[in-house]
Structure 1
Amino acid sequence: MSELRSRVAQFVIDVGDLDAGVAFWAAVLDATEETLGADSQPVYRRLKLPDSDIRILLQRTDDPKTSKERMHLDLETNDVDAEVERIEALGATRWDHQQERGHDFWVLHDPWGNEFCVLSPEFPRLLARRRAT
């Protein structure tokens, strides 16, 4: 029996429009689109992050969002207010400003209502290696 190996390969985000989803999330994450096979393109689009081997998979769905996500992305930044404004200009909306347990962060909704957070650095050394946008 061979050794068992597992890893996070990708994080899936549901969107109603794949082209708009790629435009929004690629701009937010400074990601580039990877080509998928023609049979997958009507339902999926994949983004490569500039500083991670984990991918973002956009999945087209017409299902309505009915409740809070049980998983979401946290985006860290050295300037929360400026980053929230930049992402709003791309089409996100502010949903909730939270200050709890020593953290001050914004919960945003992408254009399809998916929640994600923008917060101060959790991993400052990793953030310092990230190129500026």
Structure 2
Amino acid sequence: MTAHKSRVCHFVIDCDDLDGAVQFWSAALDATEEPVADQSRHIYRRLRLPDSEIRVLLQHTADAKLSKERMHLDLEVEDVEAEVQRLETLGARRYDHQQARGFDFWVMRDPWGNEICVLEPVFPELLDRRQER
């Protein structure tokens, strides 16, 4: 087998309103928008996270959401309820409060129906590195 390099470069989130998605996800993740090629801007927007080399790529689609995603973002936070309320003010909504798996967390939906989980710290040492917003 030939040696090769690979890495995760994007986590892609589908939406039908790119400007709204940039606004929501930039605020939700404390991310900043990076430029994309002009000919791609009507389909894609890219966000840089403050503490990761993986980018969030927002992708315009008119396809309807039909079922549960097989991938989603987990956000670890110091105060789950405060973060859930903050995301609600940005346009997310509570979907399912989970307490049966040994964790107490909220499954939420962004304004386009994509799932986001808000949970207590899993990697507290990494969360401690994060600057307050």
The alignment's TM-score, normalised by the length of structure 2, stands at 0.97
Residue in 2 aligned with 1:10?
10
Within a 5 Å distance, the mapping from 1:9-48 to structure 2 comes to 9-48=9-48
For the pair 1:59 / 2:35, whether they are aligned, the reply is: no
Distance (Å, rounded) in 2 between the aligned partners of 1:10 and 1:45: 11
Note the C-alpha offset of 1:100: 2.3
Deviation at 1:2, TM superposition (A): 6.6
Query: 1:104 is matched with which residue?
Result: 104
Distance 1:35 1:2 in 2: 34
Structure 1 outlier segments of 4+, above 6 Å: none
Q: CA deviation at 1:102?
A: 1.5
Distance 2:34 2:81 in 1: 30
Deviations 1:8-49 (A, max 9, x none): 111000011000000000000000000000011010000000
Superposition TM-score, scaled by structure 1 size: 0.97
**1:68-115 CA deviation, whole Å, 9 max, x = no partner?**
001100000000000000000000000000012320000000000001
The letter of the residue matching 1:83 is E
AA aligned opposite 2:51: D
How many residues were matched structurally? 133
**Counterpart secondary structure, 1:65:** coil
Residue type at the aligned position of 1:121: P
Identity score, percent: 64
Structure 1: unaligned runs, 5 residues or longer: none
Structural RMSD (CA): 1.1
